[in-house]
Amino acid sequence: MGIERRRNWLLLLLVFGLSAGCARLSDSEPGGGGGSAPIDHPAGSTDLVLRLEECCGFLPETASLKQVPSFSLYGDGRVITQGPQIEIYPPPALSSLHVVPLDEAGIQAILRAARSAGLLGPDRHYALPTVLDATTTTFTLVSGGARHVVSAYALGLGADSSLPAQEREARRALSEFRDALSDLRGWLPGGSVGREAQLRFEEVRVFVTAGAPQAEPELEQPVIEWPLPSPLSGFGEPLESRSSMRCGSVEGTELDALLPRALEANDLTPWRSEGLLYSLVFRPLLPDESGCSGAER
């Protein structure tokens, strides 16, 4: 083989090697790269970009009311997730939430993976009639001025062979993306993930029911006095779906007064107001939430 011909073969091998290397780098991101142009997203600190929720399955009412989305990404790069939950009963009244900042490179990597998982297309729901009492996983993605909602029942609990191949592949991609969101440092660009911290929420939703929580004698809890001037008998507004329950929210200086008491309480704590006992359920509100809007779902 002549010198010129050998040189051409070497150049071809070099180009092929570089192309394969780029493909491997693209494939290292969950779902693949899918293009390098920036994906549009809201930029405000209270603007939701991506949310992952798991609901509701076989949850008791109290757990359902206080449930917080597993993952929420906002336009300023903040990611809010559920913090470690203490495995005790009765559980603490207030859920633990953590926040971690991302830079724009981290946001774009998540959006590209979301696109590869099928979240930038039309709204979809994937059912699985062969499974009972499982949760529904819902992804909400806001991009280009549009809100995309994709949900899947019993995601990750096995693929029914009777489902069309395209639907099985869609469920697999969604399951892999959900798993990736729980380990951002494992795949986002180096330096794009900041330090994790406890979230200091600014508003708390409170559900009020007349009467002390029902508990076995050995689980009875000390009574806590309601610290705010407005009595619990008139707190909030009645819920349409639960006529015996009221819902309201607390923020500002009133939240400063309530938080120390709420942090002492658990799900079976009786609260006293004007000499009467009440059961309370607390739900910290995220930056895009307010009041009791969306409480009845």
Cβ-in-10-Å burial (0-12, 13-18, 19+) of 228 comes to middle
Beta strands in 48-91 (DSSP E): 48-56, 71-74, 78-82
- Across residues 41-46, what is the average pLDDT? 98
Which residue in 139, 147, 138, 173 sits closest to 40, CA to CA? 147
Spatial contact of 108 and 38, defined as CB atoms under 8 Å apart: yes
Q: Evaluate whether the domain defined by 48-186 bears CATH number 3.90.1150.10.
A: no
Of 69, 81, 79, 75, nearest in space to 45 by CA: 75
pLDDT digits over 137-174, tens only?
999 999 999 999 999 999 988 767 788 999 999 999 99
Give the pLDDT confidence score for residue 48 in this predicted structure: 98
Are 197 and 98 within 8 A, CB to CB? yes
Mean pLDDT value across residues 204-212: 97
Question: What is the reported pLDDT for 136?
Answer: 95
> Which pLDDT value is given to residue 21?
37
Average pLDDT, the chain: 88
Q: Which region among 8-22, 24-38, 54-68, 107-121 has the lowest average model confidence (pLDDT)?
A: 8-22
Q: Indicate the pLDDT class of residue 259, thresholds 50, 70 and 90.
A: very high
The answer to whether the Cα torsion of 174, 179, 181, 185 is positive or negative is negative
pLDDT tens for each residue of 166-177: 999 999 999 999
| Whether pLDDT at 32 is above 60 | no
Task: Please give the pLDDT value at position 22.
Answer: 35
- Answer yes or no: is pLDDT of 77 > 80: yes
Strands (E), 233-290: 237-238, 245-251, 270-273, 276-284
pLDDT at 277: 98
d(CA 35, CA 234): 55
Contacts for 242 with CB less than 8 Å, ≥ 6 apart:
296
Give the predicted TM-score (pTM) of the model: 0.86
The pLDDT, as a whole number, for residue 295 is: 82
Look at the alpha carbons of 61, 66, 72, 76 in this order and tell me if their dihedral is positive or negative.
Answer: positive
Encoding tokens for residue 170?
A: 């869609």
